[in-house]
Amino acid sequence: MSKEAHGRRRTLRVLGASAAAVALFATAGCSASSDSGSGDGGDVTLEFAQWWEPELPDGAFRELMDEFEAENPGIKVELLSGPYASTKEQLFAGAAAGTMSDVVGLDGAWVSDFANQGAIADLTALMAESDYDDSELASQIQVDGATYMIPVVNFVYPMFTNDDLLAQAGVAAPPADRSEFAAAANAVAGLGDNTSGWILPLSLEAPNGIQNDVMSWVWATGGSMLDGGQPDVTNDEVTSAVEYIKGLWDEGAIAPGAFTMKEQDKVEEFTNGRVGMMIDSLAHINLIRETNPDLKFSISALPAEDGFDGERGIPYASWGIGVAESSEHPAEAWKLVDFLMSEETNAKLSSIANAFPGNTESVPDFVAEDELFATAFEIYQNGYPANEFTGLPVAEQLMRLFDEQFQVLLDGGQSVDEMLQKTQEAWLAEF
């Protein structure tokens, strides 16, 4: 495993029901007002801001909310749904203004910031008030010993490949190592017609591309960006990954527009058949299939360094859930969290999302029913979940600081060593 696993002390921790449970299951919009008080007839209306609904089959998430409302007369749920990037922007604006929705979808990288701002509620306290048994939760995200986020479902980030584009470029199978990937990316880019080999989102507004699309190359070879819990981005593993990506950039294998591209842009370009390969969440498989049913694509493990035969780190992310500190209805908000984490509901949600469940007793049906997800589960079983940003203070800012220097590097303004040294110094200042 990574160096982080040996002695890293964190303010924010991932707590599992057991080590085995975490290993198995932790694969990785808000409104302008929190005025979600009683509606007509005395009903409580909970605003639930998240990016999940657009990534699920049409109507599927609303059906779950209808089930919740039927089981909890007097509580209504208003879904505020949008893409990940816009949801993040709205939540950060709501946190600063004290106007978060009652229930919020969370990325683990945001939790430390929101908790320190006092924007999200202490779920440990809400669990205690409702006598909730948390023994079935696969994991919890804590700050200073209190839970602020519960991962509802968890996604691995494998490599997606456009089968037709690779075949046209003479590539017979998804690449397994860096040399094969570079050859495939350049071959696809050489097809012309505005096709690109690989797509890399580097928007500074939503810098999670550094986590999912850049640092994942380090983790795929068992590397780490930390040493004893402190920044270590000048090490050989990070240097090698950055040099590799810079080479792909210089060769023209990466899709243009990367500096302003966000995650949803990456998915759209792949879905429209203009990109040969991307690193992406399993959450988007449904969206890709529905948007372009004719697209033939596969998933595979991220390529490792040539000759690497060790255990590969697999990027992952969670759909986490939290409650706004400013909510006027925390008890009702907790009921919605409880509902989503129940064995039956969590199994349904993980199945329609094609994700690993957050309840250790829940069993999704996708492994037996869908070849792509069976492959994903096999990839997961053969590696280990790796996301070193989850648990770090100001994780989003760390990504952005790396991103700023990375863009200068790609633009020819500095060397790899200069880029990583500046990033190291900027990260140390944040720690």
Domain range summary for the chain, segments of one domain joined by +: 10-156+316-385, 159-314+394-430
pTM: 0.73
Residues 71-121 pLDDT 10s: 999 999 999 999 998 999 999 999 999 999 999 999 988 998 899 999 999
| pLDDT for position 101 | 97
Backbone angles phi, psi at 268, to 5 degrees: -65, -45
In CATH, the number for domain 159-314+394-430 is 3.40.190.10
Residues 236-291 pLDDT 10s: 999 999 999 999 999 999 999 999 999 999 999 999 999 999 999 988 988 899 99
Q: How many CB atoms lie within 10 A of CB 378?
A: 12
Q: How confident is the model at residue 42 (pLDDT cuts 50, 70, 90)?
A: low
Q: Give the integer Cα–Cα distance in Å for 191 and 304.
A: 25
3-state secondary structure of 254: strand
The domain made up of 10-156+316-385 is a member of CATH 3.40.190.10: yes
Backbone angles phi, psi at 275, to 5 degrees: -130, 135
| pLDDT for position 3 | 36
Domains 10-156+316-385 and 159-314+394-430 share a fold: yes
Query: Which candidate, 427, 411, 409, places its Cα nearest to that of 419?
Result: 409
Q: Give the integer Cα–Cα distance in Å for 315 and 302.
A: 9
Q: Give the integer Cα–Cα distance in Å for 320 and 3.
A: 25
